[in-house]
Structure 1
Amino acid sequence: MKNLIAVEEALALVLKNVKTTTETELISLDKAIGHVLAKDLYAPISLPPFRQSAMDGYALNYHHGNNFLVIGEVKAGDASRQILSKGQAVRIFTGAQVPKSANTVIKQELISKHGKSISVAGVIRLGSNIRPEGEQIQKNTLALNKGVILNASTIGFIAALGLVEIPVYKKPSVVIIVTGNELARGGQALKDGQIYESNAIMLKNALRSLGILSVDVLEVKDNYQETQLVLNSTLNQYDFTLVSGGISVGDYDFVGRALDKLGIEQVFYKVKQKPGQPLYFGRRNNL
Structure 2
Amino acid sequence: MTTRLPWAEARQAAHAAGQSRSLLPELLPLDKSIGRLLAVDVTTSIDIPHFASSAMDGWAVTGEGPWRVTRAGRRAGEARKVVTGDVVFDDEFAVLRLESGTTDEDILFSARLDEPRPGQHVRPTAAEADHGETLIRKGTLLNPAHIALAASAGIDHLEVSAEPGVHLLLTGDEVITQGVPGVGQVRDSFGVQLPAVLRLLGAEVRESSRVRDDLTATSQAIEESTAPLVISTGGTGSSSADHVRRALRGLGADILVDGIAMRPGGPSRIARLPDGRLIVCLPGNPLAAMVVAISILEPLIAGMAGRDPRAFDLTRGLHFEGRPGSTLLVPVQVRDQRPSPAAWRGAAMMRGLADADALLVVPEAGCGLDDPARLLTLPWRQASPAWLLGAR
TM-score normalised according to structure 2 size: 0.59
Counterpart CA distance in 1 for 2:95 and 2:46 is: 24
Contact 1:51 1:98 in 2 (8 A): yes
Cα distance, 1:44–1:231 mapped onto 2, change above 3 Å:
same
Could you tell me how far 1:228 is from its partner in structure 2?
Answer: 1.0
Q: Secondary structure at the match of 2:73?
A: coil
- 1:18-54 deviation digits (Å, cap 9, x = unpaired): 2262524432222213434455544354321321223
Q: Which has the higher contact order (CA 8 A, sep 6+)?
A: 1
Counterpart CA distance in 2 for 1:206 and 1:35 is: 14
Indicate the residue corresponding to 1:201 in structure 2: 192
Q: Does 1:14 align with 2:14?
A: yes
Counterpart CA distance in 1 for 2:57 and 2:160 is: 40
**Deviates further, 265-274 or 134-143:** 134-143
Match among 73, 78, 81 for residue 88 of structure 1: 78
Alignment of 1:123-134 (within 5 A): 124-134=116-126
Q: Secondary structure at the match of 1:259?
A: helix
Indicate the residue corresponding to 1:212 in structure 2: 203
- 1:157-209 deviation digits (Å, cap 9, x = unpaired): 222233333333432121111100111223x5755533221212311001222
Match among 149, 170, 183 for residue 175 of structure 2: 183
Q: Secondary structure at the match of 2:270?
A: strand
Cα distance, 1:44–1:2 mapped onto 2, change above 3 Å:
same
Could you tell me how far 1:97 is from its partner in structure 2?
Answer: 2.4
Unaligned runs of 5+ in 1: 73-81
- Kindly provide the amino acid, as one letter, of the partner of residue 256 in structure 1: R
Cα distance, 1:257–1:173 mapped onto 2, change above 3 Å:
same
The structure whose Rg is larger is 1
Counterpart CA distance in 2 for 1:27 and 1:123 is: 47
Match among 90, 97, 102 for residue 113 of structure 1: 102
Counterpart CA distance in 2 for 1:32 and 1:123 is: 44
Counterpart CA distance in 1 for 2:205 and 2:92 is: 53
Indicate the residue corresponding to 1:280 in structure 2: 269
Q: Secondary structure at the match of 2:271?
A: strand
Unaligned runs of 5+ in 2: 277-392
Cα distance, 1:2–1:192 mapped onto 2, change above 3 Å:
closer
Counterpart CA distance in 2 for 1:31 and 1:172 is: 16
Contact 1:204 1:215 in 2 (8 A): no
- 1:115-173 deviation digits (Å, cap 9, x = unpaired): 45221422643223322223323446555455554333322222223333333343212
Indicate the residue corresponding to 1:136 in structure 2: 128
Q: Percent identity?
A: 27
Counterpart CA distance in 1 for 2:94 and 2:202 is: 45
Counterpart CA distance in 2 for 1:155 and 1:269 is: 42
Contact 1:83 1:101 in 2 (8 A): no
Indicate the residue corresponding to 2:55 in structure 1: 54
Counterpart CA distance in 2 for 1:26 and 1:112 is: 50
Q: Does 1:174 align with 2:174?
A: no
Counterpart CA distance in 1 for 2:10 and 2:273 is: 17
Q: Secondary structure at the match of 1:200?
A: coil
**CA RMSD for the aligned pairs?**
3.1
TM-score normalised according to structure 1 size: 0.78
Cα distance, 1:239–1:192 mapped onto 2, change above 3 Å:
same
- Kindly provide the amino acid, as one letter, of the partner of residue 207 in structure 1: L
Match among 243, 246, 249 for residue 260 of structure 1: 249
Q: Secondary structure at the match of 1:201?
A: coil
**Deviates further, 130-139 or 238-247:** 130-139
Equivalent residues, number: 270
